[in-house]
Structure 1
Amino acid sequence: MILQINTSARSAHESLSTRLATEWVSRLRAERPEVALEVLELGQQAPAVLDEAALQAMFMPAEQRSPAQAARVAQDIAYIDQVRRADTLVLAVPMINFGVPAALKNWIDAIAKAGVTFRYTAQGPEGLLPGKTVYVVLTRGGIHRDQPQDSMVPYLRTVLGFLGMTEVHFIYAEGLNMGPEAQAAGLANARAEMDALVPVHA
């Protein structure tokens, strides 16, 4: 199963990250048309913030949880189950103030659970979501690739790897707010990177 995770607050029509991620998913499904697809619209319905009430619900014994607490925990479990079902994840991630969208951070907080999606061992932490391929479609208004201000790539590579998802590919569309020519070049670069990732069959 392919899980496409759109994180832009803009609609699918207006969001360049969503449009590019959808293009990439279409290419993946052209290679494997039998594979199911689930789409998660985090930008339209973000996961709940990890606050004190959520922490209390998570650490409360299940039989003692109130209905509201049980519903809060169930939300995170649903996100985790969805990731477990997927063998491929495609994340559409625009840069927001040099970081990832808040909705994506909330989703990461929802799925990163000690003893569930990672654990600590005598040898160090172990991710419990291995064997998945992750593609991250990045859209940025400026040029940030391989620059000190790009905190997105190190963060996503670290946190996904911590959960066991170590095969992570980044697709870059940059310069999108630097004028029509720069935007066209940025989109063309992203599509060229997609071309390089798609297996070529004789």
Structure 2
Amino acid sequence: MKNVLLVTSSLLGDNSTSTNLSNALLDKLSQSQEIKIQLRDLAETNLPHLTQVEMGAWATPAEERSQEQANLAAVSDGLIDELKQADAIIFAVPMYNFGIPSSLKAYFDRVARAGVTFKYTEQGSVGLLESKPVAVVCARGGFYQGTDADSQTPYLKSMLGFIGYNQLSFVFAEGLATPERDNGLAKAQEQIENLSKTLLA
């Protein structure tokens, strides 16, 4: 059985296109093999902006942490453990104001930890998480793929590669706020169909 972690970041719940497309990918995967799904809904997790206090908790040895520090460190530790336990990861990512949701940024701020998920060397940074298949399902109201206005894709490639994930696949559903919505969804469904055959292969 494969463990698949789904990280959603939309504010729209059941009405979210990025989440619904990611669930469609999960359905396709489950048709070919048995999978166990772990859901991390960042709208429900409600991570606050990262603070110096929380970063200080990470830097404090576990045996020296106060109860507050232990509680703060446990949040990051839990998110990182979810990544480590997964055989594959799916990120459902809507576009908000040309970027990723702030909830997803808060998530990455907690899973990118020096000495835990990456380290710096004389040759540059090195990701410490074991590489595994990662799918990113992006939903956009307009058309951004391959343009300078698409700040999501390079950021996500850099961020995920920074912690060790380089087996990346992207699904793009674009034009969702235009008359081309149906065409955009159809193209995304085709990408999902193709990806479902290779993601856990």
Normalised by the shorter chain, which TM-score bucket?
A: over 0.9
Deviates more, 1:61-70 or 1:87-96: 61-70
Match of 1:15 in 2: 16
1:78 CA displacement: 0.4
List aligned pairs for 1:151-190, cutoff 5 A. Answer: 151-179=151-179, 182-190=180-188
Shift of 1:132: 0.7
Q: Percent identity?
A: 37
How much is the aligned-residue C-alpha RMSD, in angstroms? 1.4
SS in 1 for 2:149: coil
Bigger Cα displacement from structure 2, 134-143 vs 49-58: 49-58
Query: 1:91 matched to which residue of 2?
Result: 91
Question: Is the CA contact 1:47–1:110 (under 8 Å) kept in the aligned structure 2?
Answer: no
Distance 1:103 1:133 in 2: 22
Secondary structure in structure 2 of the residue aligned to 1:36 = strand
Is the Cα–Cα contact under 8 Å of residues 28 and 193 in structure 2 kept in the other structure? Answer: no
Query: Aligned partners of 2:159 and 2:193: how far apart in 1?
Result: 27
Show CA shifts across 1:42-86 (max 9, x none).
122222321122122222333332212110101100000010001
1:1-202 equivalences under 5 Å are 1-11=3-13, 13-33=14-34, 35-179=35-179, 182-199=180-197
Residue-pair matches, total: 196
- Kindly provide the amino acid, as one letter, of the partner of residue 54 in structure 2: A
Q: Retained in 2: the 8 A contact 1:95–1:138?
A: yes
Contact 1:46 1:106 (8 Å CA) reproduced? no
Q: CA deviation at 1:186?
A: 1.0
| Structure 1 spans left out of the alignment, 5+ residues | none
Residues 59 and 199 of structure 1: is their aligned pair in 2 closer, same or farther, counting only changes over 3 Å? closer
**2:69, 2:130 → 1: CA distance?**
29
Any stretches of 5+ residues in structure 2 without a counterpart? none
1:122 CA drift (Å): 3.2
